[in-house]
Structure 1
């Protein structure tokens, strides 16, 4: 990891401190724990800088392909300010050619930062794209300015209590346990304008969405450039995940042995390989075991995308509080040419008024899943 900076937050002996660096390389432990940031977030409460305390939580936000595309600048001349930028090397140029999904992930980061600060009584004012909305892709300009208020300027939000437990559960859901209408309504209540919430448990509508989602997944899996974008972001085994705790983690019980034996490799995930066949065999029954879907729609502007990320984080936290599992589905919302047909179908089904469907997800009940690996907060901060 090599973010340029003059000084950098580093964890040392269980404590957090700002440590000046002479170069650009982040030194890490020989075998770091890729799940450590989930445990380190609450420990950051001892840090004297409220921005760092909040950012330690923000890095746990959901984001596309787990790219963790955020850079949080801490201006020395403005100790109450965080400048949020996109790490332009962490985008998804094939499947997210206009950086829409990446912007949504940055919105989730900003909202989790705001919630973490509010938990200790500090308001955070979020100013989207203060130097203008970039297009057609993001650039080096700030995505948002986050200004921290004084102690006592905000009240805690109950949603923050779920921050450490939030997960993306990519597994079959219990089809014998329906999602209640009131549970859907409760998720909708945490969404605010300009974002609109949608959801369904109607079997016919669920089947329609599932069919479009499955065909979209197949298109991505058989479009070489789109599939390679995912394969190139796969991290195999604990060693691979620890070295790069972003992207798609392929690790855990039963997988480590296959990685060590050379049976689970990047090549095996290409068409014709055993891993590729396994993905197909796993994905269809997982989609079939889906009792409900939820989605968010907005207009088309960058600020709308950032707001969608804000509320996607909030919907996730509300679902966690209700004991529900969430699994985002991106394929039918992507904007590369080969998926244009299903994209139009999904928008016709969910946004016939011409709005943009920003997020779509499976919703239901499932067994608990572990957290997703994260880069430590210090690798996402730079002082300026």
Structure 2
């Protein structure tokens, strides 16, 4: 099937999505203000009406977890290969300060590939994922493909996919009166496949040790000027700003929109010594304190392919936790590789690495219901090739 340069994705009950090709530089078009920044969460199931199974799966894949909600994916649809998606990194959406080697970005791309695979399997398609078909770029990602995703008939639906629409990253205090049962950790462990390794704990002493490390690492990021400014620059403040650019760190909703309009919440207010910064610190510490369990993943080495596989594992842990009624929130500051974090990074590797590389660390517990994170529509992340 040859895709036109402008393709309309129509589905009953959903707004039309226009498939606009990305320019050669990779920046998405279609940046007009949308009334609902979370609309792609409803558009994903509605995409079942589209005739191209790749687009049906991509509508789900864009909902994958990823660092700082950068949504760093570009999906190319080769006209000559109607069964194939070429997954690339949008190089403008990396995190050069806190993720200087693009390891975390690669994990996000791995989560995207796995959610694509699960969505395709639900349609009866099997997906072959070929990591870095033109080689693993070092020290950072470049324009080469991150993976080839090739569809073929015969996919077997995975029960995890049933939880995809409800998956959230719950950045709130968890219910300390509800301990995480050991059976839950055992169930989560089954979702991590080689080369990945699963780790988890509900032991109070170990939870306290990891919590202390996570807090010290967060403080280091928050007090390291360039690292903190990277997050501040990605803050989208107020519904209109979030709707216009639904990636990065969204600050909107009842009360927040009014504060943004009144000039009380600004980027300047989030800098050290300012009121917004103090509020952020005051909220983060009690959130970490209300953590009954931690989970983490590691790999024997630190190759690009292992980071991509870690994204697969992290997505599956998210979905499995959702199915168990649990909440998961990544707290991977200690795994960042910028110089000021080196002491915490070494401590995390020694504490959790099992002789390999810790790839992800997250809080686990019973958290409140939260709304979905804003997303760019799938159409804005697709380009013909």
Instruction: State the match for 1:362 in structure 2.
Output: 363
Structure 2 residue 298 is the aligned partner of structure 1 residue 300: no
Where do residues 116-265 of structure 1 align in structure 2 (5 Å cutoff)?
A: 116-150=119-153, 153-265=154-266
Instruction: State the match for 2:47 in structure 1.
Output: 44
CA distance in 1 between counterparts of 2:108 and 2:23 reads 31
TM-score, with length taken from structure 2: 0.95
Q: C-alpha deviations, 1:293-321, integer Å up to 9, x for none?
A: 00000121000000000010000000000
CA distance in 1 between counterparts of 2:62 and 2:307 reads 19
CA distance in 2 between counterparts of 1:248 and 1:22 reads 25
- Please tell me whether the aligned partners of residues 33 and 240 of structure 2 are also in contact (alpha carbons under 8 angstroms): no
Mark the CA change 1:232 to 1:202 in structure 2 (over 3 Å): closer, same or farther. Answer: same
CA distance in 1 between counterparts of 2:368 and 2:220 reads 29
- Please tell me whether the aligned partners of residues 131 and 148 of structure 2 are also in contact (alpha carbons under 8 angstroms): yes
Displacement of 1:358 in angstroms is: 0.3
Q: Secondary structure at the match of 2:273?
A: coil
Tell which deviates more after alignment, 194-203 or 15-24: 15-24
- Please tell me whether the aligned partners of residues 17 and 47 of structure 1 are also in contact (alpha carbons under 8 angstroms): no
CA distance in 1 between counterparts of 2:329 and 2:21 reads 40
How many residue pairs match? The answer is 377
Structure 2 residue 76 is the aligned partner of structure 1 residue 73: yes
- Please tell me whether the aligned partners of residues 16 and 44 of structure 1 are also in contact (alpha carbons under 8 angstroms): no
CA distance in 1 between counterparts of 2:333 and 2:28 reads 35
Mark the CA change 1:31 to 1:81 in structure 2 (over 3 Å): closer, same or farther. Answer: closer
- Please tell me whether the aligned partners of residues 9 and 379 of structure 1 are also in contact (alpha carbons under 8 angstroms): no
Mark the CA change 1:266 to 1:10 in structure 2 (over 3 Å): closer, same or farther. Answer: farther
TM-score, with length taken from structure 1: 0.95
Displacement of 1:33 in angstroms is: 1.6
Unaligned runs of 5+ in 2: none
Displacement of 1:31 in angstroms is: 3.7
Mark the CA change 1:29 to 1:229 in structure 2 (over 3 Å): closer, same or farther. Answer: closer
Q: C-alpha deviations, 1:276-307, integer Å up to 9, x for none?
A: 00110000000000000000001210000000
RMSD over aligned Cα, in angstroms?
Answer: 1.8
Q: C-alpha deviations, 1:124-152, integer Å up to 9, x for none?
A: 100000000111100000000000002xx
Q: Secondary structure at the match of 1:229?
A: helix
